[in-house]
Amino acid sequence: MKRERKDHLLLVFFILLVFLILYAVYFVFGLLIPQKAARDFGQPDPQLETSRRILYAINLEANKKTLTTPLDADGVKRIFTIQYGESASQVVYDLYQAGLIHAYNPFIDLLIYTGNDKKIQTGIYTLSPAMSMLDIANHIVDSNPQDVAFSFLPGWRSEEIAALLPQSGLAVDAADFLDEVKDPAGDYKIVESSGAGSLEGFLFPGEYQMLRSADAQDLAAALTGQFAAQLPAEYAGLVEKKGLSLYESIILASIVQKEMVATDEGPLIAGVFLNRLKASMPLQSDPTVQYAFGFDQASGSWWKNPLTESDLQTNSPYNTYLNPGLPPAPICNPGMTALMAVANAMDTPYLYFRAACDGSGRHVFSATYEEHLAAACQ
């Protein structure tokens, strides 16, 4: 009886001991280490399962020295770029290859633990091996890196581009940018070679990653540089066959850009204007009048629409109702579609076009004035 009682007590003691050991393991690994990891590395991603959260916390604490010690305390700063669409694993691999971090797996564990693997920001960063892996991990999820995305659409005039600058995150002053466009002080080879007096027409539409510290010349150089890079090598030869110099083709492309809605009509519209130039007819393009008119306070737009009869009498060399030939400079900054529409202008008998009456944005093209009148909407 006493033996059975003793065995029973031993069993109870053993169960209590096992329970205490399990509790101690849970207390250390389930509570203490996760709490310490949260203090050392930040709060874990709430979407992580409890078991994974504990596992990552253990891994991070085991690699704490690696994560908090710089690769090279005397390392120099360098530019590191994260491209759009890059995965977290690719970014970490690039950091490792660039000699900015000294371990791949702990860095990935840190990103996943904090949820920052889903928050890495595209951009240009100044990093250094003198930064710890923890510092670098926090830096590449900063929503305010050294660069900013800046974009504008085809057909915008320089004043519209300048209006974006105050809220863009760039240090570029809008007035300084417009001064640079109108009276370039920088070195813009394609502009100089064309004989242009301003940068209007050469500011290539699209999206750019610009350093926040960029000035007006930096921005202008990026936009005109992209124009030069995108223009096909054979472009000047193509427009020469149309009887145009490079600059004249850009001026015409700026008009085509504002006239066309359906892009497939671009070569037709360009062909009409070339026919008018050959026939010594005025171009009579409304967008040139809109450009000459300037900012319309009533609509809050640089492109007043509709124009009145008195608007068509605006005294300006850009008004192609009053002045023959091309205007003296581009009226906007055309995209590649409009530029190529001029290079590939169609040879047709058309001298007129007007908006179709179906609201599609397309045009009706006519060879004679009588046909043009007959195409008017009733």
CATH number for 84: 3.30.1490.480
Tell me which of 39 and 365 has the higher pLDDT.
365
Q: What is the pLDDT of residues 160-177, one digit of tens each?
A: 999 999 988 899 999 999
Q: What is the pLDDT of residues 95-119, one digit of tens each?
A: 999 999 988 999 999 899 888 888 8
Same domain (yes/no): 124, 184: no
- Per the structure, the complete domain to which residue 130 belongs is given by 65-139
What pTM did the predictor assign?
0.69
Indicate whether 331 pLDDT > 50: yes
Q: What is the pLDDT of residue 19?
A: 46
Give domain status of residue 360, yes or no.
Answer: yes
Same domain (yes/no): 358, 272: yes
Indicate whether 18 pLDDT > 60: no
Q: What is the pLDDT of residue 22?
A: 43
Q: What is the pLDDT of residues 196-241, one digit of tens each?
A: 999 999 999 998 988 888 999 999 999 999 999 999 999 999 999 9
Q: What is the pLDDT of residue 289?
A: 98
Averaged over 339-353, what is the pLDDT? 98
Indicate whether 24 pLDDT > 50: no
**Residue 279 pLDDT grade (very low, low, confident, very high; cuts 50, 70, 90):** very high
**Residue 20 pLDDT grade (very low, low, confident, very high; cuts 50, 70, 90):** very low
Tell me which of 19 and 129 has the higher pLDDT.
129
Q: What is the pLDDT of residue 39?
A: 87
Same domain (yes/no): 70, 172: no
Same domain (yes/no): 96, 152: no
Cα separation, 106 vs 145, whole angstroms: 24
Same domain (yes/no): 194, 247: no
Q: What is the pLDDT of residue 6?
A: 59
Same domain (yes/no): 351, 248: yes
Cα separation, 327 vs 147, whole angstroms: 37
Cα separation, 176 vs 182, whole angstroms: 10
Same domain (yes/no): 161, 273: no
Give domain status of residue 35, yes or no.
Answer: no
Instruction: Quote the percentage of the chain above a pLDDT of 70.
Output: 91
Same domain (yes/no): 255, 367: yes
Q: Which residue, of 189, 204, 230, is where some domain finishes? A: 230
> Which of 335, 139, 135, 376 has its CA nearest to residue 226?
335
Give domain status of residue 208, yes or no.
Answer: yes
Q: What is the pLDDT of residue 119?
A: 87
Collapsed DSSP state (helix, strand, coil) of residue 123:
strand
Indicate whether 370 pLDDT > 60: yes
Give domain status of residue 1, yes or no.
Answer: no
Indicate whether 79 pLDDT > 90: no
Tokens of 325: 């030939």
**Least confident among 40-44, 90-94, 224-228, 352-356:** 40-44
Indicate whether 81 pLDDT > 50: yes
Same domain (yes/no): 339, 252: yes
Give domain status of residue 43, yes or no.
Answer: no
Structurally, the chain folds into a number of domains equal to: 3
Q: Which residue, of 195, 230, 265, is where some domain finishes? A: 230
Give domain status of residue 16, yes or no.
Answer: no
Same domain (yes/no): 239, 369: yes
Same domain (yes/no): 245, 363: yes
Give domain status of residue 270, yes or no.
Answer: yes
Give domain status of residue 119, yes or no.
Answer: yes
Q: Which residue, of 139, 159, 191, is where some domain finishes? A: 139
Helix residue ranges per DSSP H, the chain: 2-25, 33-41, 50-62, 64-68, 88-97, 105-114, 133-139, 158-164, 174-182, 189-194, 216-230, 235-240, 246-259, 266-278, 286-293, 336-343, 369-374
Same domain (yes/no): 359, 272: yes
Which span out of 18-32, 33-47, 150-164, 207-221 was modeled with the highest average pLDDT? 150-164
**Residue 2 pLDDT grade (very low, low, confident, very high; cuts 50, 70, 90):** low
Q: What is the pLDDT of residue 143?
A: 60
